[in-house]
């Protein structure tokens, strides 16, 4: 009996130790945990929301009708954006509201940041550049009123793409577009203003591809890219011009003269507009009114093809 009682006591002790063990029966013992470490799930990185256009969305067309003022600080001859930016922005907003056609309105401040000059300058490029602090000032106004800022380049003898690349600190922003004015792009031995400058479809494609790369790299909304054209010879080999992912390209026809002449220029230059390129139309407060009253928004909207960007200079 004593032997049996002793065996039962040993059995109870063993069972008790097993029941009080720190390691549950279904997990490995402590000497095995190093070989089987616990797997702790890592938190997933938070996806940053994609940047939007100033008034919402990520595509400019066909969602928006664009209406722009152009100019440069202290230069009233270049357009209404010369001073009093808050007043000009409010004025642009009122004007843009007259262009409602079922689309939303997106006003644009077109700031001339590189201006062609009649003198060579220190580097012989026949152009001047704006103070970067002025660009920041105009951008702040555009953001205050939820508008796009568009940086305009008149290259002179400089290489357009070189001038555009210098603007990358602003062009990589979601609310900054680009315009180039090849009328002021001249070659060696030429002076801006004495001859009409010119560009090619290939050169414009290079700029468009550069902007497209920025859109991809910085996950930007659609980027506005405008090229101005006053006459057919200003853009050679236009048929080679193509669209680029993430870039909304606009051909702005800058016709001058009376209303009949402006419309004839517009019709002539939009007949050969490449597929996917949007039409734009420019009005001049000074030059146009020498020949009569400025065209009204209703008259502009009646033009065919209907301009998707209207610029006032």
Q: Give the separation between CA 220 and CA 231, rounded to whole angstroms.
A: 33
pTM (2 decimals)? Answer: 0.84
Do the beta carbons of residue 259 and residue 291 sit within 8 Å? yes
What pLDDT shows up at residue 45?
A: 61
Average pLDDT, the chain: 89
Share of the chain above pLDDT 90, in %: 81
Do the beta carbons of residue 58 and residue 222 sit within 8 Å? yes
Closest C-alpha to 128, from 68, 73, 82, 89: 73
Average pLDDT over residues 143-168: 98
Average pLDDT over residues 105-110: 98
Whether the predicted pLDDT of 76 surpasses 60? yes
Whether the predicted pLDDT of 1 surpasses 70? no
pLDDT band for 26, please (50, 70, 90 cuts). very low
Average pLDDT over residues 56-66: 97
Average pLDDT over residues 51-73: 97
What pLDDT shows up at residue 10?
A: 37
Average pLDDT over residues 33-55: 72
What are the angstrom distances between the C-alpha of 210 and each of 17, 97, 242?
A: 74, 33, 13
Residue-wise pLDDT tens digits, 286-295: 999 999 999 9
Average pLDDT over residues 224-242: 96
Whether the CA torsion 70, 72, 76, 80 is positive or negative: it is positive
Q: Give the separation between CA 7 and CA 11, rounded to whole angstroms.
A: 6
What pLDDT shows up at residue 272?
A: 86
Do the beta carbons of residue 216 and residue 246 sit within 8 Å? yes
């Amino acid at each position: 009996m004593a032997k049996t009682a002793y065996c039962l006591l040993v059995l109870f002790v063993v069972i008790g130790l097993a029941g009080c063990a720190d390691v549950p029966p279904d997990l490995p013992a402590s000497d095995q945990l190093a070989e089987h470490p616990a797997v702790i799930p890592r938190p997933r990185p938070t996806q940053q929301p994609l940047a939007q256009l100033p008034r919402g969305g990520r595509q400019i067309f066909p969602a928006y009708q664009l209406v722009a003022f152009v100019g440069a600080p202290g230069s009233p001859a270049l357009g209404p954006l010369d001073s009093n930016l808050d007043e000009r922005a409010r004025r642009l907003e009122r004007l843009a509201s007259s262009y409602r056609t079922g689309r939303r309105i997106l006003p644009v401040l077109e700031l001339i940041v590189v201006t062609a000059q009649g003198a060579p300058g220190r580097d012989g490029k026949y152009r001047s550049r704006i103070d970067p602090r002025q660009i920041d000032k105009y951008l702040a106004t555009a953001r205050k009123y939820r508008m796009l800022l568009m940086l305009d380049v008149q290259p002179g003898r400089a290489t357009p793409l070189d001038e555009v690349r210098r603007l990358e600190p602003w062009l990589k922003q979601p609310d900054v577009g680009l315009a180039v004015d090849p009328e002021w792009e001249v070659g060696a031995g030429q002076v801006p203003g004495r001859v009409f400058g010119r560009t090619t479809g290939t050169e414009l494609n290079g700029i468009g591809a550069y902007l497209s790369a920025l859109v991809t790299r910085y996950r930007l909304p659609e980027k506005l890219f405008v090229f101005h054209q006053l006459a057919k010879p200003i853009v050679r080999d236009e048929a080679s011009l193509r669209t680029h992912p993430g870039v909304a390209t606009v051909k702005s026809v800058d016709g001058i003269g009376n209303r009949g002449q402006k419309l004839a220029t517009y019709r002539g230059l939009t007949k050969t507009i490449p597929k996917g390129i949007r039409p734009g139309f420019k009005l001049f407060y000074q030059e146009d009114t020498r020949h009569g009253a400025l065209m009204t928004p209703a008259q502009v909207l009646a033009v065919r093809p209907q301009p998707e960007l209207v610029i006032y200079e």
